[in-house]
Chain A
Amino acid sequence: MDAKRRHTHHNHHHAHHSHARHSACAGRTKRGRQFKFVFSMLISSLMRRFGRMLVALLAISVGATVLYGMVAIYYDMPRQLGREFRSYGANMVIENISEAELDAALAKLPPLSIVGITPYKYSSVSMNSLPITLVQTDFSQVQQTNPYWQFTGRLPRAANEIVLGSDVAEYMLLNIVDIVDLPELGRSVGVVGIVKTGGVEDGFVYAMLGDNWTADIVELSIVAQSDELEKISTQLMQAAPNITPQLVKRVAQSETVVLDKLQALVYLVTIIVLALTMICVATTMMAIVMERKNEIGLKKALGAKNINVMMEFLGESALLGLAGGLLGSILGQVFAYAVAMSIFGRAIGTYPLLILATLLSSMLIAIIASLLPARIAIKIEPAIVLKGE
């Protein structure tokens, strides 16, 4: 009875479609609607089957956390460890220079991360009528460049106060609060502290160096690896031709070697964790394909092409990767911060580029891990929907 009407409607419907297909604007609308539908389908698949996707999400999140955390530490480690290494002593020495000359030269260089600049002025003096080497220096800087120097007592606060090297104190039988005769500094000079360095410095006597100093030797402790240090050295020479900086190569190079080894280790651990993540995601995705055999078969029975099935599956993985990457970036920042705080005692920066890289690589890893499961998915036959269960 209304068969004709329906068929007419049907034909009209098709005519309308073919007309629409010729219009570019309608084409865009069509693609938009199709995309909107498939996107909302993927979101529904993830949100409404959240429990099932949780394992895969967790795997990606953990992978992304380690990736983010490790790379953040990897980037930050030279800076972090550079500070640590500076406790082994100065890595650059400049001879015969005044404070003014050095300041002028440094001002011409790009900003440096300087831990300390310690001037030393040596003179031969007599103390209690015995010849001895007097070293005048800036004690606050000594503690920065040579943090391993162990002071007992206190540091000099006035020109007539000295610190004795431990050997001097021993063979001259002197101790804190003793008064000595040191004509260069005054008639009665107070011993306020004793320093133990473990080197020849234990045989010297130390006093304050005033402002606007001219030093025999200046030790610099700069946060930089050996190649950067070479560059800084060259720049200093260009800035002030009378300056000839020398690198303390032993310190600078061992720093580089240790950093390289640590970074290689981080690199290795990151690769292993990523491989494990990929295996875990692939296994979960494989289980998901098996679990959704009927759904995939149904879609094919409805006329889904292999490419549809594949793209939907990989699209789901990509979204899962994105969510996992987002979660991983947050957890990774917390992880890196905690590691940096507990090991180096310093905070770690946030790297927006690293967040982007983590998101992209999480998506990529999820997609790569899903390629094999997706291949299995497209091999599922639509006939499965008719096999009763």
Chain B
Amino acid sequence: MNMLELKGVSVLYGSDVQALYNVNLEVKAGQWLAIMGPSGSGKTTMMNIIGCMAKPTSGSVILDGQDTSKGSEADLTAVRRDKIGLIFQQFHLVSYLTALENVMLAQYYHSMVGEAEAFAALERVGLGARVHHLPSQLSGGEQQRVCIARALINYPKLILADEPTGNLDETNEDLVMDIFKHLHSTGSTLVVVTHSPEVASYADRMAVLEHGRVVEVTDPPPFEHKGSRRRRSIYG
């Protein structure tokens, strides 16, 4: 079953800037897709379309059986809230909320805050001892793990990550990749946009974007990952 399906998706900004040309792409439930491509290739636009933060100019986007390309702004908000977990390169934690409150924020907009559940989510990403810290008191890697805990708290159908290790050092990149591997092993569907062949190497498939077109879909990605580099895993 396809969790995500893009059919003939084109995005036109203004009258002459075409960000995506007739993109066709499928992601099966439980699959891990990496999206790669140089700057300006349309990765961000693709993320916006998949993440229901923008609508395509033409074509359709079917997420979990629902066509999101025709919905209203409120419909898209509901899809983002109920079906998508977003992970960002910049983490985007609310600066005045603690790690725990940042996770609870996603619960708040989704359905109902549950402190115990938010606490458990942070514990699962190895931050049980840092729940009451503000983002400014956390390292980049810790902030990214808060961001991941927040993305996972409402059990999204699709986890969408934009350069999740772009601002992290190797150690933290390993920690984050551990979490992704764990999520993949537990059946989550992942779409990860990345520049890093190392990050892409863990995916099941890889799509390469160039000038707004999908020029290559490789199954599996043609990269070796440096498994030996791992120092520790929070999942043992």
**Residue positions of A touching B, CB distance < 8 A:** 1-3, 6-7, 10, 13, 17, 30, 33-34, 37-38, 40-41, 44-45, 47-49, 294-295, 298-305, 308, 381-383, 385-389
Tell which of B53, B89, B104 touches A301, judged by Cβ atoms closer than 8 Å: B53
B105 touches A302 (CB 8 A): yes
Smallest CB-CB separation from B83: which chain A residue?
Answer: A303
Which 9 residue pairs are nearest across A and B when measured between Cβ atoms? A303-B81, A3-B187, A48-B96, A383-B53, A303-B109, A37-B113, A298-B92, A382-B53, A3-B186
With both chains docked as a complex, state the minimum distance between the C-beta of A32 and any C-beta of chain B, in angstroms.
10
A-B contact pairs, 8 of them (CB 8 A): A1-B185, A7-B187, A41-B108, A302-B80, A308-B109, A382-B53, A385-B88, A386-B53
Nearest CB in chain B: distance from A139 CB, A: 71
- Residues in B with CB closer than 8 Å to A48 are 95-96, 134
A222 to B80, CA, bound (A): 73
Among the 9-residue stretches B43-51, B62-70, B210-218, the one with 4 or more Cβ atoms under 8 Å from chain A is B43-51
Beta-carbon nearest neighbor of A4 in chain B: B187
Q: Is B173's CB within 8 Å of the partner chain A?
A: no
CB distance from A49 to the nearest CB of B (A): 5
Complex interface residues of chain B between 73 and 125 (CB less than 8 A to chain A): 74, 77-78, 80-82, 86, 88-90, 92, 94-97, 101, 104-106, 108-113
Q: How far is the CB of A65 from chain B (nearest CB, A)?
A: 28
A386–B88 CB distance below 8 A:
yes
Q: At the interface, yes or no: B223 with Cβ under 8 Å from chain A?
A: no
* Distance (whole angstroms) from the CB of B86 to the closest CB of chain A: 6
Contacts of B108 in A (CB 8 A): 34, 37-38, 41
List the B residue with the shortest CB-CB distance to A46: B96
Closest beta carbon of chain B to A377's beta carbon, Å: 14
Complex CA distance for A344 and B155, rounded to whole angstroms? 70
How far apart sit A34 and B109, CA to CA, in the bound complex (Å)? Answer: 9
B113 close to A303 (CB less than 8 A)? no
Contact at A386–B44, with CB atoms within 8 Å? yes
Are A303 and B48 in contact (CB-based, < 8 A)? no
B142 at the interface (CB under 8 A from A): no
Give chain B residues whose Cβ lies under 8 Å from the Cβ of A301.
51, 53, 80, 86, 92
Contacts known (A386-B48, A386-B53); A295 close to B94, Cβ less than 8 A: yes
How far, in angstroms, from A105 to B96 measured CA to CA in the complex?
70
B9 to chain A, nearest CB (A): 15
DSSP class of A's interface residues: helix, strand, loop or mixed?
Answer: helix
Q: Does B162 contact A (CB under 8 A)?
A: yes
B74 touches A305 (CB 8 A): yes
Q: Which single residue of chain B is at the shortest CB-CB distance from A36?
A: B113
Q: Using a CB–CB distance below 8 Å, which chain B residues touch chain A?
A: 44, 47-48, 51, 53-54, 74, 77-78, 80-82, 86, 88-90, 92, 94-97, 101, 104-106, 108-113, 134, 150, 155, 162, 185-187
Residues in A with CB closer than 8 Å to B111 are 17
Chain B residue with Cβ nearest A382? B53
CB of A44 within 8 A of CB of B78, answer no
Contacts of B110 in A (CB 8 A): 302-303
Residues A34 and B94 in contact in the complex (CB < 8 Å), given A301-B53, A303-B80, A385-B88: no
| A389, B96: Cβ atoms closer than 8 Å | no
Flag if B101 contacts A303 (CB, 8 Å): no
Q: Tell me the bound Cα distance from A10 to B121 in angstroms.
A: 13
Are B44 and A44 touching (Cβ within 8 A)?
Answer: no
- Chain A residue at minimum C-beta to C-beta distance from B93: A298
With both beta carbons as reference points, the residue of chain B lying nearest to A30 in the complex is identified as B112
| Chain A residues within an 8 Å CB radius of B150 | 302
Contacts of A294 in B (CB 8 A): 90, 92
| Complex alpha-carbon distance, A388 and B80, angstroms | 19
Question: Is B97 within 8 A of A41, CB to CB?
Answer: yes
In contact, A2 and B44 (Cβ under 8 angstroms): no
Q: List B contacts of A17 (CB < 8 A).
A: 111-112
Q: Chain A residues near B47 (CB, 8 Å)?
A: 386
Q: In the assembly, what is the distance between CA of A2 and CA of B185, in Å?
A: 8
CA distance A48 to B112 in the complex (A): 24
Q: Do B90 and A302 have beta carbons less than 8 Å apart? A: no
Find chain B residues with CB under 8 A from A2 CB: 186
Nearest B residue to A48, CB-CB: B96
Distance (whole angstroms) from the CB of B179 to the closest CB of chain A = 14
- Contact present for B187 and A6 (CB under 8 Å): yes
B77 touches A300 (CB 8 A): yes
Known: A3-B187, A44-B97. A386 touches B51 (CB 8 A): yes
Residues on B with C-beta less than 8 A from A385 are 53, 86, 88, 90, 92
If the complex has contacts A302-B80, A303-B78, are A41 and B101 also in contact, measured as CB distance less than 8 A?
yes
Bound form: Cα–Cα A298–B151 in Å? 12
Given contacts A37-B104, A37-B113, 19 further A-B contacts (CB under 8 A): A34-B113, A37-B108, A40-B101, A41-B101, A47-B96, A48-B95, A294-B90, A298-B92, A298-B94, A302-B106, A302-B150, A303-B80, A305-B74, A305-B109, A385-B90, A386-B44, A386-B48, A387-B44, A388-B89
CB neighbours of B162 from chain A (8 A): 386
- The interface residues of chain A lying within 8 Å CB-to-CB of B89 are 388
Complex Cα distance, B54 from A305, in Å, reads 15
